[in-house]
Amino acid sequence: MPPIIQFEALAEDALLLRFGERIDIELNACVQAATECLRQHLPQVECVPAYASVLLRFDPQHWPGNNPHQQVQAAAAAALNENASTIAAAQELVIPVCYGSEYGPDLAGVAALCRLDTDTVIARHTAADYRVAMLGFAPGFPYLLGLDPQLAVPRRTDPRLRVPAGSVAIGGSQTGIYPEVLPGGWQLIGRTPLRLFDITANTPSLFSPGDRVRFQAIDEDQFRDLAATSPA
């Protein structure tokens, strides 16, 4: 049964479409499908998907009448009623990760919390299929759904002031990758040499919401080789 969508006015030029309140991969799939549908039918409206909602940004002056909120809502509802069942072809990305040691200083702690050995944590982390639920926190930071439930661990009680760029981390039931040097409290289990965000590129972010992601374990020599050939 499709979720009931609620519209909430956030500003004179913004509406929020709420699909639910939980972090759920099936609910997020509905969000991604709706976002694609809205982009096709309302190209003049900016759509920003999150876990269970879509932010609509628009220019009120381009909507004739006295109630642009109501008109955008009606247009969005009509588009979704017509077709909200398809998702645009997503990228499938394989992200190389060097796990443990200096690249993943919290790996042993995560293994202890999960009552597993580090090799099993790595095996479970690389075995999963992930979906980019949304980008947030910092430009290019992907929130990934699909983590093995046995690997879910709480965030650190002492967040770091500087997390290295490319750090792969677990926070609760999610995995994410820090695109730049940032503060953060997630558990760091590895690092990728890939650059996730380049503001000078035509497409600045490596990831887009809805993309499929898998992790591939590499060793330190492979990490250094890939880092040497990746764009600075």
81: number of CA atoms within 13 Å, CB side?
A: 6
Is 1 a member of any domain? Answer: no
Domain boundary among 28, 57, 82: 82
Is 122 a member of any domain? Answer: yes
Domain boundary among 20, 48, 82: 82
Q: Are residues 76 and 104 in the same domain?
A: no
Domain of 176, CATH number, reads: 2.40.100.10
Is 119 a member of any domain? Answer: yes
- More reliable by pLDDT, 87 or 147: 147
* 33 within 8 A of 93, measured Cβ to Cβ: no
Is 223 a member of any domain? Answer: yes
Q: What is the residue range of 32's domain?
A: 6-82
Render pLDDT for 154-202 as a digit per residue (tens, 0 to 9): 999 999 999 999 999 999 999 999 999 999 999 999 999 999 999 999 8
AA letter at 94 = V
Mean residue pLDDT of the chain comes to 91
Domain boundary among 82, 115, 145: 82
Is 150 a member of any domain? Answer: yes
| Pairing of β 212-218 and β 6-11 | unpaired
Q: Are residues 75 and 97 in the same domain?
A: no
Q: Are residues 75 and 109 in the same domain?
A: no
* 31 within 8 A of 54, measured Cβ to Cβ: yes
11-15, 146-150, 191-195: segment of lowest average pLDDT: 11-15
Render pLDDT for 44-92 as a digit per residue (tens, 0 to 9): 899 999 999 999 999 988 776 677 888 888 888 887 876 555 555 578 9
Domain of 55, CATH number, reads: 3.30.1360.40
Q: Are residues 46 and 132 in the same domain?
A: no
Q: Are residues 110 and 190 in the same domain?
A: yes
Q: Are residues 49 and 96 in the same domain?
A: no
- More reliable by pLDDT, 162 or 24: 162
The predicted pLDDT at position 66 comes to: 74
Whole-structure pTM value: 0.85
